[in-house]
Structure 1
Amino acid sequence: MMIALGCDHGGYELLQEVKAHLDKRGLEYKDFGTYSTDSVDYPDYASKVACAVQSGECERGIIICGTGIGVSIVANKFKGIRAALCGDCFSAEATRQHNDANILTMGARVTGPGLALKIVDTFLDTPFSGDERHVRRIAKIAQIENEQ
């Protein structure tokens, strides 16, 4: 699985922890930046990750900013993207099982690195359930996207 990674300056340090963790797990990723703690605009980096997932270049994405809110809003503007802001493992598991979320967003200023890495593992390791009710609901989301 190829994972698209991105962050703004607020998420830079936590993303470095995530990258080291993915390296230990032997998982492949593409880092779309930013590459320092210098102030940047989060929509630029959230868009790069969302485009990589939308195009199929990457199967999943992880985007980190200060709260996770801004990057989640940006990513969800892209057709076919189901980005979920998760601050706990239960939410990460549920959004994969029920929503087939393809991008995880997190807030570096609200979630510490220990928990963040557990959330990443849960998000990456949990499959979509495929239950009919969840498939139906995801289809309704896609219908809304197509009507816009």
Structure 2
Amino acid sequence: MKIVIGSDHAGYHLKGAIIDVVKELGHEIVDVGTDSPDSVDYADFGLQAAEMVANKEADRGIVICGTGIGMSISANKVKGIRCALVHDLFTAKATREHNDTNVLAMGERVIGPGLAQEIAKTWLTTEFEGGRHERRIMKVMNYEDGTYHV
């Protein structure tokens, strides 16, 4: 798979650890920045990574900031993106199995590199279950398109 990764300054160091594990799994990496710990705006990198996934320029995306919150909010503004903020292994697995997430958000100030690498591995290797979960995802996606109303 081709994985796009982006971070702001607060996720810069964790991004390197995630790039290592993604490459170990045999995936191609596209790093959209940032390239230093100097202060930047998370939205610039979260939106760019999410756009690449939405436009099928990457299969999935990983975004990292201090908490993961800003990145997940940014990514989820892009049509077609299902980004989950994850800080544990159970959620990493469930968000792929049940929600077919295509972008993973994490927070460098919340978790360490070892756990973050395990989360990325779990998220990248877990398949979507489909079935009843597909119907639920389609409702959300159709709401985004304006074809489903609650």
| TM class by smaller structure | over 0.9
Q: TM-score, normalised by structure 1?
A: 0.97
Q: CA deviation at 1:145?
A: 0.4
Matched AA of 1:39: S
Q: CA deviation at 1:19?
A: 1.0
Once structures 1 and 2 are overlaid, which stretch shifts more, 21-30 or 102-111? 21-30
Q: TM-score, normalised by structure 2?
A: 0.95
| C-alpha distance in structure 1 between counterparts of 2:19 and 2:50, whole Å | 18
Q: Secondary structure at the match of 1:79?
A: coil
Aligned-pair identity in percent equals 52
Q: CA deviation at 1:25?
A: 2.6
Q: How does 1:1-148 map to 2 (within 5 A)?
A: 1-131=1-131, 133-147=132-146
Q: Secondary structure at the match of 1:52?
A: helix
Gaps of 5+ in 1: none
Q: Could you report, residue by residue, the CA deviation over 1:48-74 in whole angstroms, capped at 9, with x for unpaired residues?
A: 100000000101000000000000001
| C-alpha distance in structure 1 between counterparts of 2:27 and 2:139, whole Å | 32
**Number of matched residues?**
147
